[in-house]
Each structure stands twice: as structure tokens, then as C-alpha cells.
Amino acid sequence: MTEIVGILLAAGAARRFGSPKLLCSLPGGVPVGIASARMLVQSVTHTLAVVKPDDRALIEAYSAIGLEIVKNPLANDGMGTSLAAGISAAPGASGWLIALADMPWIQPATVRMLADTLRSGASMVAPVFGGRRGHPVGFSQQWGNRLQALSGDDGARSLIAEHADKLVLLETLDVGVLNDVDYLDDLIPEIGGS
């Protein structure tokens, strides 16, 4: 496999939300996690979703959309384990775009721009809106071993901080790169990020 793979991290605990949030509907009626998945599928050819093994509803919904399913039995140990599981499921990719399932407003054009930057030789890439770094974040093949070794809830934050000089920041007008759903009030995003 020599393509960019989109990885949707969908195995979080939703502690701040208070209940499973990815199947909660946005104002237009589409569930949060489904909108995020559709965005990723529209943006890159090969996509997969990392989910908890017992989350049957998400597994069915994501399978119907066309995502490959990766079950993470260590999901409760933190986001790092889900990221590692996703990378491990597509080790031959030329790079990976890591998207969060609770960020449903990112535009497909933004994700395609990030993927194109990886294809052009960037080591790491992330979008920036209004001076704030957002998601998804992309990594080239050179980071595969480090990403597969992640654990805990830090995700790739420390890897990015350690190699900040390798991170290409792309300015975007897409505020969706900042808006996530952590609380019930977030189902309707504020302009400028939450």
C-alpha cells in the first residue's frame, strides 16, 4: 500500500459529554460520528475507523459508509492506543491522516489539501485557523514505528512537540478544524472554534 490512509479515531470514552456522543444528532439530523466519517471517506481513498470492540452501533454505521473497522481492546487506556492500532492496521501506507470522530465540521477540501501536502513530501502536516493548530494531523511513513508505539491519552502530541521543526502548518479558512464536540452545547458550533 503506497497511499495516504485516513484514520478516524472513534473509541473515546466521551466523559465530558456524559454519554456516547458519536451517534448524537447534529442540528441537520446527521450524527456527529457519521458526519466525521463521511468527510474522511470523501477526502481519501482508503479509510478506517478505530472503535471499541463492543460498539456494535458504530461498527455497523461505519461499515455501511465503507470504512474498514479496527477494533481496539485497549481503548480505555487512552487515545494513543487507538492511534497505534490504526497505524498498525495500515503499516504499508505512505502516510496517515488522523481525524477525530467528534469533529464533524471539517471540510473535505481541507483534508485533501493535507493529504496532497503529505504526498508532496511533508513529514508532518496540520491545518491552522486564526493562528490555532487544528485537526486532522498528517504523518508520513517515517513516523510509523513511533506512532505504533504510542500509548496513554497524549496521542501524538509529544511526538509533534519533539519534532516541531518537521511540522508543516497550512493556513485554512475552515473553522471546522477547531470545532469538536465535547459537551452537549458543542452540537451547535461557535464561530471561531470551541
Q: Residues of the chain with pLDDT > 70: what percent?
A: 88
User: Is residue 193, in this structure, part of any structural domain at all?
Assistant: no
User: Is residue 55, in this structure, part of any structural domain at all?
Assistant: yes
173 class by beta-carbon count within 10 Å (0-12 exposed, 13-18 middle, 19+ buried): exposed
Give the pLDDT of residue 183.
60
How many degrees, rounded to 5, is the angle at CA 13 between CA 137 and CA 82?
45
The grid coordinates listed for 158 are 509529544
How many beta carbons lie within 10 A of that of residue 21, not counting itself?
22
Residue 194 — very low, low, confident or very high, per pLDDT cuts 50/70/90?
Answer: very low
User: Is residue 51, in this structure, part of any structural domain at all?
Assistant: yes
Q: Residue holding cell 495516504? A: 4
64 class by beta-carbon count within 10 Å (0-12 exposed, 13-18 middle, 19+ buried): exposed
Residue 155 has pLDDT above 50, yes or no: yes
* Total number of domains constituting the chain: 1
Domain housing 123: 4-187
* pTM greater than the 0.85 cutoff: yes
Residue 192 has pLDDT above 60, yes or no: no
CATH number, domain of 31, equals 3.90.550.10
pLDDT in tens, 172-188: 999 999 988 766 666 67
User: Is residue 192, in this structure, part of any structural domain at all?
Assistant: no
User: Is residue 60, in this structure, part of any structural domain at all?
Assistant: yes
User: Is residue 116, in this structure, part of any structural domain at all?
Assistant: yes
Task: Give the E-state strand segments of the chain in sequence order.
Answer: 4-9, 46-51, 68-71, 95-100, 124-129, 132-133, 137-140, 167-171
pLDDT in tens, 83-127: 999 999 999 999 999 999 999 999 999 999 999 999 999 999 999
